[in-house]
């Protein structure tokens, strides 16, 4: 039972490791129902150098024996030293102290080719020692040898591959083939040019355990015959170009012949030679091919076209129609150039910020003066660019935007002079300017030339004027200009109204300024007057009013008073003070030749009391008056004066004392001397 079980275990292990199995059985009668013996699967194994080998082994002994030691050693070895103890991991003992004695040797080399035996020792129940040794096991190492038959063939012939060893491998390995490192699936095939190379065979799964390589030489006619151009890519005019023939052939090509497509041979070249065309020109354009020949056959290449390219040349611009270009016609500008490859065109206008447009033609359907200018086109391809010469596009058109400008002072008085100037846009330039005057429905020519000079103007020259500008393309009239010639009295009146408005505005601003200053500072304590003082003040005010309206009284004023502007603001008295708190502002303008007559203007401020403390208004009397008198620069006109009276509503009479009920309002007078009419 033990012997049969050991053989089964060893057989299973050997199947898994695909190693050499050695089987040999030694038996001997034993004691207590057992046999002494060692069984090997193979006593003469054969293995590849560099691979591994397994000595399949089992042993048996009587049942009353106990295993004390097991040994694997060389047959020539006298002591009981284990081989696996000497070689470490190189030799592995896979057995045990029961019945398995299997041994494995890894990475076999020449020193492992030897004879081996197995030995074990036992002791029985009585302490008696026993030992047993097997017969020898001889290991043979070999290598793989590759053969290719025949070694030299022509394309299409049969080739056979064979792999052999010096002994029969115990594990019967699967052999595989490689050509230049690539797997080969068949050991017999029809040779072609791709089959040339170095072949080797190997144990499947252990590619490193392969044979030495052997060569297969497959001969064939020239293949892939080509003509190359250097530099590659574009062939530019003026550069040098090198033509080279190449191919794949076995045996190699001895010579090439270079032809132009017309059939004319250009050169015979060795494989190491090339043909160079220096400073290539347009005449070198065309097709080329080469012919390759070896011992097997002659083969031609495909035709290679040599396309000589060059940057734009002779760029020019033409215009249609020819002749003068008149506004409104159809104009076509065309750009042309010689180049290879074809060019793209871009149109430019001198002093333009950006290109006008792209394309061969620049079309102006209805040409206008705005299209006038100098044009040119740019022809460009990947090898360069070239501009055309400038083309002047001069668009002719009749006069337009005709205007009349007038140089004179306002007002235009009798006896003065004025120049009327006519201007217009035209191409060609305006040839004639003609002046006309409209008098009602009648129109008459008054002169010619760009400037119409009118001197010593009488009032009869008043009217509407216009000019006509004319060139060879047409004529255009300006809009009319009206001239009004005034007498001296009319001219003076023309200036009165601005002076009136200016004077009134000045008075109003002075009043507002005084009121603002009064409201801004602390309330002014005004003295309270007695009834007598009030009466006197009232009389004084009335007298002042009468005096201001009396021309005889005005003449008695002093020179300083005559030339002064007065602004008198009389503020209401406070509850505690009785002194006069008037504000005065005096402005002296230039002296007037004649005293002015007064003019009056009255302004009613309904809400004046809302911005002044009511306590202060409670003391305001009729005779608390603000005066403002202005005298502007005098001209030789009738004197006129204007008075500005501003009335402020006061608190109700119930809020005042009885002595203040006599007067229920306050007045501000403003006197302005105006220019004579």
Q: What HEC string does 190-250 produce?
A: ECCHHHCEEEEEEECCEEEEECCCEEEEEEEEEEEEEEEEECCCCEECCCCEEEEEEEEEE
Question: Among residues 95, 116, 118, which one has the least CA distance to residue 37?
Answer: 118
- pLDDT > 70: percent of the chain: 69
**Is the pLDDT at 660 greater than 90, yes or no?**
no
pLDDT at 482: 86
Asked whether the beta carbons of 180 and 148 are under 8 A apart, the reply is no
Q: pTM of whole model > 0.75?
A: no
Least confident of 7-16, 128-137, 168-177: 7-16
Better-predicted residue by pLDDT, 547 or 150: 150
Q: pLDDT digits over 79-92, tens only?
A: 888 887 777 778 88
CA distances (Å), origin 100, targets 9, 56, 108, 138, 436: 8, 9, 23, 20, 143
Q: Could you give the dihedral angle defined by the CA atoms of residues 48, 54, 56 and 57, in that order, rounded to the nearest 10 degrees?
A: 120
For 10-144, strand residue ranges (E) read: 28-29, 35-40, 46-48, 53-55, 57-60, 66-74, 91-93, 103-105, 115-123, 129-133, 137-138, 140-142
Average pLDDT over residues 489-494: 53
pLDDT at 500: 57
Asked whether the beta carbons of 645 and 602 are under 8 A apart, the reply is yes
Q: To which H or E segment does residue 83 belong?
A: helix 83-87
**Is the pLDDT at 488 greater than 90, yes or no?**
no
- pLDDT > 90: percent of the chain: 41
Distance CA 310, CA 385 (A): 10
Q: pLDDT digits over 3-59, tens only?
A: 333 333 333 333 333 333 333 334 444 444 468 999 998 889 999 998 889 999 999
Q: pLDDT digits over 375-429, tens only?
A: 999 999 999 999 999 999 999 999 999 999 988 766 788 888 888 999 999 999 9
Average pLDDT over residues 354-364: 91
pLDDT at 75: 87
**Is the pLDDT at 462 greater than 80, yes or no?**
yes
Better-predicted residue by pLDDT, 456 or 639: 456
* Partners of residue 210 on adjacent β-strands: 202
Write out 575-623 in H/E/C secondary structure.
CCCCCCCCEEEEECCCCCCCCCCCEEEEEECCCHHHHCCHHHHCCCCCC
From the centroid of its chain, how far is CA 144?
A: 68
pLDDT at 220: 94
Asked whether the beta carbons of 133 and 199 are under 8 A apart, the reply is no
Q: pLDDT digits over 234-253, tens only?
A: 889 999 999 999 999 999 99
From the centroid of its chain, how far is CA 182?
A: 52
Least confident of 369-373, 392-396, 533-537: 533-537
Query: 170 pLDDT band (50/70/90 cuts)?
Result: confident
DSSP states of 125-149 as a string? TT--EEEEE---EE-EEE--EEEEE
pLDDT at 521: 63
Query: 343 pLDDT band (50/70/90 cuts)?
Result: very high
Query: 454 pLDDT band (50/70/90 cuts)?
Result: confident
């Amino acid at each position: 039972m033990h012997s049969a079980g050991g053989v089964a275990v060893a057989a299973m292990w050997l199947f898994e490791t695909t190693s050499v199995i050695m089987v040999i059985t030694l038996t001997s009668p034993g004691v207590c129902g057992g046999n002494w013996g060692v069984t090997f699967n193979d006593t003469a194994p054969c293995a590849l150098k560099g691979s591994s080998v397994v000595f399949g082994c089992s042993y048996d002994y009587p049942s009353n024996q106990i295993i004390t030691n097991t040994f694997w050693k060389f047959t020539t070895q006298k002591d009981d030293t284990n081989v696996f103890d000497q070689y470490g991991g190189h030799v592995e003992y896979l057995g045990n102290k029961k019945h398995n004695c299997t041994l494995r040797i890894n990475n076999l080399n020449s020193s492992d080719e030897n004879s081996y035996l197995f030995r074990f020792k036992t002791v029985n129940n009585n302490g008696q020692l026993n030992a047993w040794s097997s017969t020898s096991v001889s290991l043979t190492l070999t290598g793989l040898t590759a053969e290719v038959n025949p070694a030299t063939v022509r394309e299409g012939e049969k080739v056979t591959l064979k792999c052999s060893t010096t002994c029969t491998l115990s594990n019967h390995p699967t052999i595989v083939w490689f050509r230049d490192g690539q797997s080969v699936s068949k050991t017999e095939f029809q040779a072609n040019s791709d089959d040339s190379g170095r072949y080797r065979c190997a144990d499947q799964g252990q590619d490193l355990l392969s044979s030495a390589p052997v060569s297969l030489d497959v001969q064939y006619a020239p293949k892939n015959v080509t003509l190359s151009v250097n530099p590659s890519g574009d062939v530019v005019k003026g550069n040098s170009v090198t033509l080279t023939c190449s191919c794949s052939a076995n045996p190699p090509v001895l010579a090439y012949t270079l032809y132009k497509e017309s059939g004319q041979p250009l050169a015979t070249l060795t494989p190491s030679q090339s043909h160079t065309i220096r400073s290539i020109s347009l005449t070198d354009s065309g097709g080329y091919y080469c012919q390759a020949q070896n011992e097997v056959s002659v083969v031609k290449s495909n035709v290679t076209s040599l396309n000589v390219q060059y940057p734009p040349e002779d760029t020019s611009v033409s215009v249609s129609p020819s002749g003068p270009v008149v506004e409104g016609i159809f104009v076509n500008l065309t750009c042309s150039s010689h180049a290879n490859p074809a060019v793209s065109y871009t149109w430019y206008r001198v002093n333009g910020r950006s290109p006008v447009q792209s394309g061969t033609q620049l079309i102006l359907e209805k040409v206008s003066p705005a299209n006038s200018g100098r044009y040119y086109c740019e022809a460009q391809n990947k090898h360069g660019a070239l501009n055309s010469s400038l083309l002047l596009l001069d668009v002719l058109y009749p006069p337009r935007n005709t205007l009349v400008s007038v140089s004179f002072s306002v007002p235009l008085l009798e006896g003065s002079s004025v120049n009327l100037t006519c201007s217009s846009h035209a191409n060609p330039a305006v040839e004639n300017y003609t002046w006309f005057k409209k008098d009602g429905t009648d129109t008459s020519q008054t002169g010619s030339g760009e400037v119409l000079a009118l001197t010593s103007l009488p009032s009869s020259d008043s009217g509407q004027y216009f000019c006509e500008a004319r060139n060879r393309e047409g004529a255009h009239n300006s809009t009319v200009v009206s001239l009004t010639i005034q007498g001296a009295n009319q001219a003076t009146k023309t200036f009165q109204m601005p002076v009136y408005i200016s004077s009134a505005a000045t008075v109003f601003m002075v009043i507002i300024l005084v009121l603002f200053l009064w409201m801004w500072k602390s309330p002014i304590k005004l003295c309270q007057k007695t009834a007598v003082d009030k009466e006197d003040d009232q009389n004084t005010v009335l007298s002042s009013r009468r005096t201001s309206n009396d021309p005889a009284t005005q003449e008695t004023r002093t020179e300083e008073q005559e030339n002064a502007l007065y602004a008198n603001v009389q503020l209401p008295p406070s509850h505690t003070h009785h002194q006069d708190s008037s504000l005065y502002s005096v402005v002296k303008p230039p002296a007037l030749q004649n005293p002015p007559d007064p003019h009056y203007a009255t302004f009613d401020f309904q809400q004046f009391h809302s911005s002044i403390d009511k306590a202060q208004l409670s003391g305001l009397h009729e005779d608390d008056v603000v005066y403002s008198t202005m005298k502007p620069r005098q001209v030789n006109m009738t004197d006129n004066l204007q008075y500005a009276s501003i009335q402020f509503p006061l608190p109700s009479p119930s809020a005042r004392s009885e002595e203040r009920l006599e007067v229920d309002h306050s007045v501000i007078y403003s006197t302005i001397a105006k220019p004579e009419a």
